[in-house]
Every structure is written in C-alpha cells, then in structure tokens.
Chain A
C-alpha cells in the first residue's frame, strides 16, 4: 500500500475516528552479528510523539533516534535481549534490496508488539524476529514513501461502530492498495495477550476458590468439634453470666487468629511466588512491570479473603456455642443417637461385619460431612487431572505440530513471489537434501456476513514436509480444486464442506474469487486454509510462483547453508523448526511448569488436610470408643483400620468421582482456553488418571499414617477415663 499523506485527512473525516496516526512499516531482512541465519525484522516509523499518541513507545534504556538521522534505530527489548544487542551496537538490514547499516541507539517496548510473532512462526522467536523503530523520513526515503504512508493506526470515538469505521477505511484506502483494516481484537499481540490474561484470570479464580472452600470446611469441622469438647467450659462461663454473643465472639476470634496466621504464612510464601511469576512474565513479554505495590494490594486481598472464608467456616460453630443451654452443657454429652438406616435398608446386615456396619453408620450419620469430604478429595484429584491434561495437551499439540505437520528443517521465505528458478536455486543450495515449494498469501475469507482474516497455504498436493493432517493422523491429499479449511476457521465462518467461500487475497491486485470448500481438516492450530499451490496460483492469477520453500537439510551443512541464505537478497528469512520447538519447550517449562507444581502442591495439601483432619476429628470424637475396642481385644491394626476405614471409604469414593470431575474440568478448560488462534486438544491418558489418583491416595495414606501413629500412642487407661 502507498497512500499520499493527504489521504489521512479523508480518513480523519470518517465519523467515529477520534485519533489517527499514519506510519511507514516495512518488513526487512536483518543480518544480526552472531546469528548464522538471516533474521526478519519489522521496521516501523517513530510515532510523532514517542511518549504520547497512539501506541506510545516506552524507552527502556539508551535514547530515541534523533529526527532526521537516517541510520539510528530503536530496537525492541525482546529482540535486543535475545541477540545481546545494546545501544551502540550495529546491525545490517536489507532495505528495499540494499544493505543499510543501522546503529542501535536505544532499547524500547511498544504495546503493539508485546507478543511479536514473525512470519511463519508459531511461537515468538525473538532471536530471529524483531521490531525496530526509525526516523520516518529516512525510512520513507528508502522505500519511496516520501509524503506517503503504508500503515495507519486509528482510535475510535466512544460509541463508534467498529464495523462501519472499518468499512469506511477500506473504502478510502482501497485505491491505494489498502490490505484491509482490522479490529484490535484481531491484532495478533493484543489477541494473544488478552487470551493469556483471560486464561490467568480463570485460573486465578478457580484454584484459590477451591482452596478457600476447603479451608473453610476444615475450620468448620475443627471448631464444631472444639465447641463439643469445650461444652462444659461453655456451660460454666454461661453460669458465670457470659452471654451467648460473647462466647460466639470468642470462637470467631479464634477463627480470626487462625485465618490471620494462615494468611500471613500464605502471603509470606505467596508473595515471593507472585514476584517470581511477575518476573517470568516481565522476562517473557518484557512488560515494564516494576510496580510491587500491586503485589502488596494482592496480598491484602488475599488476607481479606482468608478472613472472610474462615469466618464463613466458623459461624456455625460459634452459633452452636452461643445456643448451648448452660445446665445441659455442663453434663457430659449424651451418646450419639443411631437408628436403623442405610445398613438395614440396603440389606447389608448380612454382608457386613459389625466393624463394617460401624463404619457405614458413622459415615451415614453425617451425610453432609461425608459429601463435603468426598467432594474435597474429588477436587484434589480433579485439579491434578486437569493440570496434567493441560500439560499433556500442550505437549501433544507441539508433538503434532513439530513432527506430524511440520517435518521440514527450515522454512525459507522469499521477499516476494518468484517463479520456479527461485525454487531450483533453493534445491541447488549446498546441504539441501530435499525442497518443497509453497505459496503463502494473507487472505480474507467471507461467508455471508462473516469475514475472517487468515493465511492461505498453497502446498504441493502430496507434500511430505508441510502436511495437512487430520485429527486421526491421516494426511490429506490436497484436491486440485477448492480449499481445505481448519475446523476452527470453518466454525468461525459457520461453513461446511461443500459451501462456497469468497476468498480475497490481501496482496497484489487483491483478486476476489468464489471458492468451494473441499473439506474441513481437524487441525488444532490456527486460521489456515489449504489449497494446492497450482490452485493458489490460479486463484491469484499469477503464473507458477512460490513465496518460499520447505527445506530438509544435511545437518553437517547447516552453518554454511545458513550463512548462504543470509546473503541471498531474495530470501526474506528462515524459520528453524527445531529453534521454534526449543523456544516453545522453554516457555512451557517456565510458566506452565510452575503452575503445575503449585497445583500439585495444592492438591496434596487439600488431600492431606482433609484426610488428616477427618481422621483426627474421628479419633477425638471416638477415642473412647476406640479405647473400648482395644480393651475388648482389638489389635492396634484393627482399631486403626476402623478409624481410618472411614477416611479410606471417603478417599475411595472421592477418587473415581475426582477422576470424572477432572475429566469435566479438563473439558471445561479445553473449551475455555481454546482461543481464536488455536484449540487446546483434549488429551486424557490413563497415566494421568492413575497418577492423579495415586498422588491423592498417597497424600491420604500419609495423613492416615500420622493419625494411626497417634492412635498407637493412645493411653488406654486415660482414654477410658476421658468421657469427653
């Protein structure tokens, strides 16, 4: 696109546009010292006011390029860091076919390119793709854009209609080769970050809610038991004239102290975690996050939530204490009432030993406590299942992408579409074992009133390196006519195989064609449409051209081949599959790995806490009963198995329930986390389910052992005396 500057006036006149900034933005090849292969860059003209206006730049260090000086550039922090570039260093850019030396004078970041994805990349590769900002005049001169612009950013007035403004902009810019205006929602970096933030928000709500609910439940059971044990003291205090309210307050204060101590511990360990997480984000996205006040506010909110949930758990026990009649509460508690129930109704009497009947009746007597405990165990399992499934899903996705779909070593991109000689040149490069041409073109697809932007891949029909593979692993042979859409794309457009789509190329003469959908392929990543390369060229009305080639190379010849690619002016860049994969693994390891570890810990604490608490309270409530059994000649093991049998049943019921819940959580999260850019695959392995249940069962067993230890050291004579 090339629009004379006065066209900006026409744009400004569009109703609904509040602010506007024209720019020059060009894609270039970069020669970075120390990098064998060519890197890709996007050079954007400096905004009129660097610190204000639209997409303001944030200078990290160094200085901004001086107006009128043509060889100064500001480098994006991500790119600078990946390539160890500092102010004062120089790199070379191929600008409009000519080498130009650029001096880095400063390092900066922009809200527009926080997540900077180079062409053909799936994950950011900051080593091989970077953003640079230069003085507009020099940039424009190099590209014959003096007094013109090829890029414009616009802010809408409040209440303006996005669709109307986009339509108007397209109309105004079409004569100048406008490639189509798009909503910020469709801006890659914004889209990705919004998705990421939304995902974090979901995670940040669900896990702590579960944790706080479990905490409240534990506090509820402990305090209820405590009130039971202290009933005679409560009665005594009431006899002295303490009011019910005063006594309730006492228990609430106790809960408050517990909550505060817990919260202080939690904030104390959580804040460093949060700081670490923020650093990871700052490192990965280069956010200018230096605001630790925000973390403190989060800590304060955490303390508040802990106090509120503790209060919710404590209120029933406090009310119970307040309502105890003084005379009654000074007598020992009457034996709990049991009557015929589940055992008789279900005809279990014959099937169960008296010990088993004890167990069943004790559980059945407090159905809510049972349900809550089972739910807690189930949630612990479900958390683990879900986190592992997410991890497995991402691994599967990458495995799929990097071994099944993408099988090339290098994806070499041309500066512009070229004819077959360019392909032969690739084939002839030393070290290239096999090459396959491709034709990529940015397109808009229209079905009825729905329009989506995406990439049209023109591939060899039976290509071996970049394949179109269905969910079941079956590769497609691209049809000679029509296109194959990814399922995500088809869903977004609301189309099915056999429908007609309008395809508008976003380059060249921008031809529009009506194209039949030959098939839908269940690929998890991206808005992609596949056609045979021959068909793509027919659609675009061009001859037999390609925009790049997939190369398989001899590993030993890698370095010289990269160096050679770097010197070829028609080569716009090269993406290494292995580099992308490593990049991705590193990202997963650092961010997702921490999330998994934290959730594993959470699940363990929940399981351990629930079972320990349950068994400990049972021991306290029924210590007398257990002592009696021991006196009657029950061995320690038999008595322990009675006590822990209940927790065992709770755990045993909770585990499969948790498995089901985990599958449900996973399905929900797969749905929640599936963004417009990719779809999280649902991967549920037996190892995951067994592992999650095993981990929770182990936590339960460990806490059971802790209580069994107490039981073993119980003084029988003392326990028989203590009637409470």
Chain B
C-alpha cells in the first residue's frame, strides 16, 4: 500500500477545563490514505472532533506525532498549520460556517482567491449543483443549500484532505442524503481523501473504512468490502 497521507502515532490530547483535566484522546494511532472515504463513528465526547481537529491542523496534540506526508503537524507553529490548512485541507462543519455577508459564489471565491490552483467558484458550485444559487446570501439559502455551498468552498481549492464534522447533523433525511451524495462525488471525481464524522451509524456503509471511537480511543476499524452509494443508504 502507498504511503499514508495522514499519520497519527500515539497521539493523546488533554484539555484543561477549569481545574479538571479531560483526556479527549488517548494514545491513538491511525493511517489515512489518498482517495479513501473514512467514516468516523462514536457517541458525543468519544473524541471524534478532537481527532479531526488534530488531523486538520486546528490543534496540536499534547503528546504523540501527527504527520502530513513528510511534514510534522505536531511540531508546527501557527504559521505552518495555517499554511497546511490553506493549501491542503478542506473543512465542512455541522453549522456550515458560511460568511453571512458574502454570497454563495463569494464564499467560495474567498478560498479560491488564496489557493494555488483552485477550481473556479462557478465550477465548484456546479459540482454541488448550486450554479443557480450563486448570487444568494446565506440567509436566503436553505440548510442543505448552505451546506452544499460549504462543501463547494471546501473543495474548490482541490484539497488533498476533506474533513467533515457532522455535515448532516442539522439537516433532514432528504437533504442530508443530497449532501452525502455531493461528498461521495467529490471523493470519486477529485480523489480527495475524505473523513466524515457522524453519530448516524447508517452512514457507515458509504466508507471504505469505518472507524469507531469511544472514550478517546479507537475501538474498531472495519473495512467495507463494498461501498454503498449515498443514494441507497437506509437512513
């Protein structure tokens, strides 16, 4: 198998909340490969988001190593992490995180303006099926549309890694499925390593691998022999 794109070795993350120390991740090791579609499953507080934040360069581990190809993410300072996010990572959040003062197209352009060889904002919106809504502001879009804009924004820079934290968490079934179809398409057409956090177990069938977490540890990594298309997921 090829070298992993992202690699974690013995990673722990401890937060201090007031006087209490919370161990969010405990000695986690994990390799993620190019083009993979990963589903991260687990209950609230199991450490999924912390894992994603470390993989995306939003945070650094308390101990252990996080590497992107041959770059260390655990040793980098803010400028290095910012550059990593800027050049290689796309993020999708549960609450879309669109800039309210910018239209759909402008939200995408915000990222393409600072990327090296991006898709055009129009292309990115076409990829998520929102060409028609390019001139609308977030407050004028439905939740599903907003999330698709967020995906377009995340993939427009052609990232190596796409990290999605509960992308369907705030959406109804039909809309959620639509969003997952878009993620699937991006993974397939652009070959982007995609990791999706969810606590909806029915999504698990979509992934190449399904990682289950509990209390800050990986308890199981299962490989699906055959990926189920998003449109065929039983919700």
Contacts and interface: CB of A to CB of B under 8 A. Distances in A.
A717 interface: yes
A446 interface: no
Interface in A312-361: 334-340, 353-355, 357-358, 361
A335 B99 CA distance: 9
B111 A336 contact: no
Measured as residues with beta carbon below 8 angstroms from the partner, the interface class of chain B is 35 or more
Chief secondary structure at chain A's binding surface = helix
B65 to A, nearest CB: 20
Given A335-B138, A338-B137, A631-B85, A636 B97 contact: no
A723 to B, nearest CB: 7
Contacts of A716: 58-59
Nearest to B139: A337
Contact of A717 (B58, B107, B153): B58
A418 interface: no
B220 interface: no
Q: 5 closest Cβ contacts across the A-B interface?
A: A633-B86, A361-B101, A628-B97, A633-B85, A354-B110
A493 to B, nearest CB: 64
B113 A632 contact: no
Interface in A611-664: 624-625, 628-636, 638
Interface string B79-121: 1001101110101010101111110001101110110000000
A336 B85 contact: no
A625 B99 contact: yes
Interface in B15-70: 53, 56, 58-59
B140 A630 contact: no
A365 interface: yes
Interface in A377-425: none
A634 B87 CA distance: 10
A702 interface: no
A365 B113 contact: no
Contacts of B157: 633
Contact of A336 (B82, B100, B107): B100
B3 interface: no
B86 A365 contact: no
B78 interface: yes
A720 B98 CA distance: 12
Given A338-B139, A631-B58, A362 B101 contact: yes
Chain A interface size, under 10 / 10 to 19 / 20 to 34 / 35 or more = 20 to 34
A184 B201 CA distance: 97
Contact of A632 (B53, B79, B153): B153
Contacts of A357: 101-102, 106
A339 B114 contact: no
Nearest to A364: B101
17 contacts: A336-B101, A338-B138, A340-B135, A354-B107, A355-B113, A357-B101, A357-B102, A357-B106, A358-B101, A625-B99, A628-B99, A632-B85, A632-B111, A633-B86, A635-B86, A636-B78, A717-B53
Nearest to B97: A628
Nearest to B88: A633
A624 B109 CA distance: 19
B122 to A, nearest CB: 14
A527 to B, nearest CB: 63
Contacts of B78: 636
Interface of B: 53, 56, 58-59, 78-79, 82-83, 85-87, 89, 91, 93, 95, 97-102, 106-107, 109-111, 113-114, 135, 137-140, 153, 157
Interface string A686-724: 000000000000000000000000000000110010010
A338 B79 contact: no
B86 to A, nearest CB: 3
Contacts of A355: 110, 113
A671 to B, nearest CB: 45
Contacts of A353: 113
A336 B139 contact: yes
B169 to A, nearest CB: 13
Nearest to B83: A633
Contacts of B140: 339
B87 A633 contact: yes
Nearest to B109: A354
Contacts of A632: 85-86, 91, 110-111, 153
A96 B234 CA distance: 123
A313 B221 CA distance: 59
Contacts of A339: 137, 140
Given A353-B113, A358-B102, A624 B137 contact: no
A720 B91 CA distance: 12
Interface in A134-171: none
Contact of A633 (B53, B82, B102): B82
B101 A365 contact: yes
A340 B103 CA distance: 9
A358 B107 CA distance: 10
A335 B139 contact: yes
Interface centre among B98, B100, B107, B135 (most CB of A within 10 A): B100
A625 B101 CA distance: 10
Nearest to A723: B95
A365 B93 CA distance: 26
Contacts of A628: 97, 99
A720 B97 contact: yes
A610 to B, nearest CB: 22
Nearest to A636: B78
Contacts of A634: 82, 86, 114
A336 B98 CA distance: 11
Interface in A661-696: none
